[in-house]
A = this chain, B = another copy of it.
Amino acid sequence: MTTSFGQLAHLGHAELLTPDLDATVWFCTEILGMTETARDGDAAMLRTWDDYEQTSVVVRAAPHAGVGRVGLRTSSPEALEARAAALLAAGHEGRWEDGVAGTGRTFVTRDPDGHEIGLYHDTTWYTAPDHLRPGLKNQPQAKPGRGVAVRRFDHVNYLAADVQANAEFHADLLGARATEEIRMDDGHVAARWLTYTNKSYDVVYTEDWTGASGRLHHLAFATDTREDILRAADLCLDQGVPIETGPHKHAIQQTFFLYVFEPGGNRIELCNPVTRLVLAPDWPLITWTEPERAKGQAWGLKTIESFHTHGTPAAAGTDDRRYRPAALARRGDA
Contacts and interface: CB of A to CB of B under 8 A. Distances in A.
A294 B279 CA distance: 35
Interface string A187-214: 0000000000111000000000000000
Contacts of A281: 9, 73-76
Interface in A272-327: 272-277, 279-281, 283, 286, 288, 292, 298-301, 326-327
What interface size band does chain A fall in? 35 or more
B237 A52 contact: no
Copies in the complex: 4
A334 interface: no
A95 interface: no
Contacts of A254: 136, 138-139
A326 B131 contact: yes
Given A245-B300, A286-B138, A152 B237 contact: no
A226 interface: yes
A51 B52 CA distance: 29
Interface of A: 6, 9-10, 30-31, 33, 50, 52, 73-76, 130-131, 134-139, 142-143, 145-148, 151-152, 180, 197-199, 222-228, 230-231, 233-240, 243, 245-249, 251-254, 256, 272-277, 279-281, 283, 286, 288, 292, 298-301, 326-327, 330
